[in-house]
Structure 1
Amino acid sequence: MDEKKKKPIAQYAFIGLIVASIACLSTGLLGLTKGLVAMQMFAPQNPDILNLALQISAGVLVVGLAAYAFMAPDKVRRFFSGRQARYGSNSLILTVAFIGIVFVANYIVYQNPKSWDLTEDKSHTLAPETLQALATLPDNVTAIAFFSANLDTTNANQVLSDFKANSTGKFDYSFIDPDRDPVSARAAGVTGDGKIMLTMGDRKEIASSASETELTKTLIRLINPDARVVYFLEGHGESSIEAGSETSYSIAASTLQSKNYTVNTLNLLVTNQIPEDALSIIIAGPQKPLSSAEVSLLQKYVDAGGSLFVMENPLILTEFGDSPDPLASYLEKDWGISLNNDIIVDLSTQQPLNAVSVAYSSAHPITQNLSANYSVILPQARSVGMAETPVTNVELMPLILTADNSWGETALGPDGAAEYNDGVDFKGPLNMAVAGENTNTKGRVVVFGNSLFAIDQNFDAYGNGNIFINSVDWAAEQENLLNITPRTPITRSFEAPSPIALVIILIGSIIVLPGLVVFAGISAWLARRKRG
């Protein structure tokens, strides 16, 4: 009678075993997750929920096993006393030992990371200069790469990973999308896309690209901070760098300061000399022309390796009148750069007097990170010309250009009407900005036909702030800080086999190899059959 009463209960014992199996699987996964958290390989949003889920899963496992043992005690007794238990225990011990060995081996490898560059051209081996910079890091360095969804992060991630692997734990990095988190980008002083900020303690530096050379140069500046001073010229009606009006350059100045620049003003009419610490002088929208004496000082400064960042508006927007412009004459004579007496009319925009860049030089550091999503808008700009015959030792490059359906209007009508006149106006596409370098003196100039693009009202529009900061960076750059020789990548090409070789490959892979396997199987079967 007792056995008959127990049978109905035993019929439901499998339910406890199923519950225990599911709980066992859940406990294992949650335990693995907990281990990843302990090794700092994973960070859950709410650790308390993970701990609670692990406890509940372990509890359900125990309850399920207990329910099975209660409903089917005879099966449990036979399992622990039979031959199956002995073999099963041996398998369990071997399985646990194997899992333990794998876990310990992975933990040791994770705690002691090591990588090998097996590429033929050693494309993932850092240059000796980079390895030396990483070896001399006095403190931990964190890199934050500001890459939007429009840019591919593969190369940046690889370079940063190589830096991290060779830093003995002193270099780490992360990525931020500046489009989704513009507050962090502004706080870091980052304008544009594809920039990387390196921080060490309370110091920070920004790399303009994700190349090994640029990152190493930035790392060296971070380790050995030097004073970098730029000056805004004043005394000719230029807008102030202090906040207070929509035409000021306070955002531009504060962004430069966030990049460890010291930003000062300079009045050559008063001082009659250029400070020795000036890396670059910014001439932003003078309303009246500079004097010949000032231009002479600037000429000597540039000839000694200095740099100018010139932003001059169309004459009709200034108080130049018929007065000569010594600065424009200097740029044309010594550099082959002409500030044309026109105003750009761009029919590709809804506001024709807003010149929009549609092409740029991807080879120049100032514009290499610009894209269609970061066009530059110059409101009421003049075009910038380049001499057909280059000046000796001067290398010029146009930075940004307008669309084909634009022109430089030389004579606006009384009501502001504009119409292209062949032979009189400048036909598009037009240069909106030009950069030049003297290969002999190492002097540099950057010339824009507009200054309004960098005022507070327009600084954050599209790529305006980006190209302004890049222009200052390039003008004030210390090019001799580091020079890493680029590696020549090994070109690999696939040569298709001849028709005969293709036939041989086809026969070998479809007939010969499968035939050998079948032959071996038949031979083994026949041999066993003979042995009985």
Structure 2
Amino acid sequence: MKINKQELFKTIGYIGAVLVVAGYIRYSVQETLTLTNKIMLIGGGALLLIAIIFNFAAIRAYFSRRSAKLGTNTAVMSVAVIAILAMANFLGYRHHKRFDLTAEKLYSLSDQTRKIVSSLQKDVKVMKFDKTQDINLRDLMTEYRDLSRHISYELIDPQEKIDVAKQYGVTRMGEIIVTSGNRTERIDEVNEQELTNTILKVTRDSVKTVYFVEGHGEKSLSSSEMEGYSTVERVLKDENYQVKTVNLISTNQVPSDCSVLVVAGPTKSFFPQEVAMIGKYLDGGGKALIMVDPDIDSQLDDIFKAWNIEVGKNTVIDASGVGRIFGTGPGVPLVINYGSHAITKNFERTMTFFPFARSVKTADSSKSDPQITELLKTSSESWAETKLVGRGAEFNEGEDTKGPISLGVAASKKIGDKEARLVVIGDSDFAINRYIGAQRNGDLFFNSINWLAEDEDLIAIRPKSPTDRRVTLTESQQNMLFWFSLVFLPGAVFASGVYIWWKRR
């Protein structure tokens, strides 16, 4: 049997072209040059080269014909069009622009992530141990890599790179490892908040401790009820803080490893020795967040006076009616005006609200030490009610204070080579599980902790969760919807059609 060498090498050329194209498609999908991809690309290229060399005379003869020349012109024009499209695609890839039309900007990186990632000084490597690519993780990592050259991402097949899988203790497909230096963490869920928090954990040199004072009926960190603070504890731990509780009577001092001391809505008074302990801690350059609710005498006035802060014996009423949009009444003042401070930076045109709050302001504005910023101001249609009886509230000239009312302050003062910091807010309910995820309430609380702990790089807008927009209808509303949409509207159209037909008849 005689073999036609020209046809043989032509077939080899076709096979080589198919292998090159298939190898490139596999590489573009997997974004990893695996052994299989290398074999397909190199083998296909070699077969193409062999086919061209041994068929060179036939190729030259083909292109010398008139029809071939016309075909070549067409081919050149086609290649030119493809090149233009490829260049446009390349420019779009290098200078891509996405538009996120969701209300919560769910598909845009948060300000907090941008600040953390763009300020990285250490190399961080994210590895997905799997055979197939996770499209969501790949897209997310593309955005992170755009922010910092210190971020890298790799898809690793644990069956091909067994030594790497053993090095990081990988035991199953799909595990995601984040490593920096000699620190390694695992990610259980692919989302921005989880990834950013894990990057924080592997790049932070030390862990700061936030102590919550207990023993006076404060909000409970362990409570997952609507009135609890379990969300506060979880988010602080996610941001790489160690969270503990302290009973000052038992310890007889503020713990030495305390980075921030939190007093979260006491319902009972502090003992004088406890007040003295907190004052001594602040005088030594300590940091504290104190949240006090109306109608509670916490006996912390000595601390407030020492810091030129006045906590009013009142309840702030907001008669603007804006709160009704969110299902709240006049006893829940809404704040849209903020002081110029790191805690409330970029809060413009956003809202926070405070269920039953009292006023907190600068006691003597003529004093420059400590430096005080009034963070939260209510509307001009609010007032500080001094005699709230039952459900009724009425502004009384001479007794009540007309708005805007300050609900919180941030103060700082130099003590030797240290800087003591204090944040006082006239409400603790704004950070309970029920309200901490609403509007900017959570950002206000956690930004306060970040500022007090001198972690200004963490102060930003945090990633948001999708808003639940389900509509719940009562039985009567469902019946009304049924009759209106399935009976009255179609009936009206039918009746108008019958009327027009009758008139024309």
What is the TM-score of this pair, normalised by structure 2?
A: 0.56
- Per the TM alignment, residue 421 of structure 1 is displaced from its structure 2 partner at its CA by 2.0
The residue number in structure 2 matching 1:365 is 342
- Per the TM alignment, residue 282 of structure 1 is displaced from its structure 2 partner at its CA by 0.8
Structure 1 position 395 matched with structure 2 position 371: yes
Structure 1 position 247 matched with structure 2 position 227: yes
Structure 1 position 418 matched with structure 2 position 393: yes
Amino acid at match of 2:213: L
Of 352, 355, 375, 2:351 maps to 375
Following the alignment from structure 1 to structure 2, what is the Cα–Cα distance between the partners of residues 100 and 434? 62
Following the alignment from structure 1 to structure 2, what is the Cα–Cα distance between the partners of residues 388 and 354? 27
Asked whether the 8 Å contact 2:314–2:387 carries over to 1, the reply is: yes
Of 401, 414, 426, 1:449 maps to 426
Following the alignment from structure 2 to structure 1, what is the Cα–Cα distance between the partners of residues 374 and 346? 15
Q: How many residues align?
A: 339
The residue number in structure 1 matching 2:312 is 340
Following the alignment from structure 1 to structure 2, what is the Cα–Cα distance between the partners of residues 225 and 356? 39
Amino acid at match of 1:91: N
Is the partner of 2:209 in helix, strand or coil?
Answer: strand
* Aligned counterparts, 1:86-165, within 5 A: 86-91=68-73, 133-134=120-121, 136-140=122-126, 163-164=147-148
Relative distance call for 1:364 and 1:160 in structure 2 (3 A) is farther
Following the alignment from structure 1 to structure 2, what is the Cα–Cα distance between the partners of residues 104 and 420? 70
Is the partner of 1:379 in helix, strand or coil?
Answer: coil
- Per the TM alignment, residue 336 of structure 1 is displaced from its structure 2 partner at its CA by 1.3
Q: 1:94-128: CA deviations, max 9, x gaps?
A: 568878999999999999x99xxxxxxxxxxxxxx
Mean Cα displacement is larger for which, 439-448 or 385-394?
385-394
- Per the TM alignment, residue 305 of structure 1 is displaced from its structure 2 partner at its CA by 2.3
Amino acid at match of 2:220: S
Following the alignment from structure 1 to structure 2, what is the Cα–Cα distance between the partners of residues 385 and 96? 73
Amino acid at match of 2:347: L
Relative distance call for 1:141 and 1:391 in structure 2 (3 A) is farther
Following the alignment from structure 2 to structure 1, what is the Cα–Cα distance between the partners of residues 430 and 314? 17
- Structure 2: 5+ residue stretches without partners: 1-19, 32-61, 96-115, 129-140, 156-176, 188-195, 459-505
- Per the TM alignment, residue 360 of structure 1 is displaced from its structure 2 partner at its CA by 1.6
* Aligned counterparts, 1:480-491, within 5 A: none
- Per the TM alignment, residue 238 of structure 1 is displaced from its structure 2 partner at its CA by 1.4
Is the partner of 2:446 in helix, strand or coil?
Answer: helix
The residue number in structure 1 matching 2:216 is 236
Following the alignment from structure 1 to structure 2, what is the Cα–Cα distance between the partners of residues 130 and 462? 24
Relative distance call for 1:170 and 1:341 in structure 2 (3 A) is same
Following the alignment from structure 2 to structure 1, what is the Cα–Cα distance between the partners of residues 311 and 456? 28
Structure 1 position 39 matched with structure 2 position 28: yes
Relative distance call for 1:37 and 1:337 in structure 2 (3 A) is farther
Asked whether the 8 Å contact 1:336–1:390 carries over to 2, the reply is: no
Q: 1:341-397: CA deviations, max 9, x gaps?
A: 110011013411111112123x4222224354x421111110112133354542111
The residue number in structure 1 matching 2:331 is 353
Is the partner of 1:283 in helix, strand or coil?
Answer: strand
* Aligned counterparts, 1:245-394, within 5 A: 245-315=225-295, 318=296, 320=297, 325-331=298-304, 333-349=305-321, 350=324, 351-361=329-339, 363-372=340-349, 374-394=350-370
Following the alignment from structure 2 to structure 1, what is the Cα–Cα distance between the partners of residues 303 and 63? 103
Amino acid at match of 2:408: A
- Per the TM alignment, residue 279 of structure 1 is displaced from its structure 2 partner at its CA by 1.0
- Per the TM alignment, residue 240 of structure 1 is displaced from its structure 2 partner at its CA by 1.7
Following the alignment from structure 1 to structure 2, what is the Cα–Cα distance between the partners of residues 480 and 304? 24
* Aligned counterparts, 1:508-523, within 5 A: none
Is the partner of 2:147 in helix, strand or coil?
Answer: helix
Following the alignment from structure 1 to structure 2, what is the Cα–Cα distance between the partners of residues 429 and 480? 31
Relative distance call for 1:246 and 1:107 in structure 2 (3 A) is closer
Following the alignment from structure 2 to structure 1, what is the Cα–Cα distance between the partners of residues 205 and 88? 40
Following the alignment from structure 2 to structure 1, what is the Cα–Cα distance between the partners of residues 254 and 199? 30
Asked whether the 8 Å contact 1:228–1:262 carries over to 2, the reply is: yes
Amino acid at match of 1:353: G
Asked whether the 8 Å contact 1:344–1:406 carries over to 2, the reply is: yes
Structure 1 position 437 matched with structure 2 position 412: yes
- Per the TM alignment, residue 328 of structure 1 is displaced from its structure 2 partner at its CA by 2.2
- Structure 1: 5+ residue stretches without partners: 1-30, 43-79, 115-128, 143-156, 173-197, 205-215, 482-532
Amino acid at match of 1:436: A
Is the partner of 2:231 in helix, strand or coil?
Answer: helix
Following the alignment from structure 2 to structure 1, what is the Cα–Cα distance between the partners of residues 186 and 413? 33
The residue number in structure 1 matching 2:3 is none
- Per the TM alignment, residue 449 of structure 1 is displaced from its structure 2 partner at its CA by 0.5
- Per the TM alignment, residue 410 of structure 1 is displaced from its structure 2 partner at its CA by 0.9
Following the alignment from structure 2 to structure 1, what is the Cα–Cα distance between the partners of residues 63 and 118? 64
Following the alignment from structure 1 to structure 2, what is the Cα–Cα distance between the partners of residues 452 and 347? 20
Is the partner of 2:371 in helix, strand or coil?
Answer: strand
Q: CA RMSD in A?
A: 4.7
Relative distance call for 1:102 and 1:453 in structure 2 (3 A) is closer
Following the alignment from structure 2 to structure 1, what is the Cα–Cα distance between the partners of residues 202 and 331? 42
Q: 1:214-270: CA deviations, max 9, x gaps?
A: xx9997774234222111101112132112644221122122122222211110011
Aligned-residue identity in percent: 28
Relative distance call for 1:36 and 1:300 in structure 2 (3 A) is farther
Of 475, 480, 485, 2:452 maps to 475
Is the partner of 1:226 in helix, strand or coil?
Answer: coil
Asked whether the 8 Å contact 1:238–1:285 carries over to 2, the reply is: yes
Asked whether the 8 Å contact 2:265–2:291 carries over to 1, the reply is: yes
Relative distance call for 1:475 and 1:87 in structure 2 (3 A) is same
Relative distance call for 1:91 and 1:314 in structure 2 (3 A) is same
Relative distance call for 1:278 and 1:203 in structure 2 (3 A) is farther
Relative distance call for 1:479 and 1:243 in structure 2 (3 A) is closer
Amino acid at match of 2:441: N
Following the alignment from structure 1 to structure 2, what is the Cα–Cα distance between the partners of residues 382 and 163? 42
Relative distance call for 1:217 and 1:389 in structure 2 (3 A) is farther
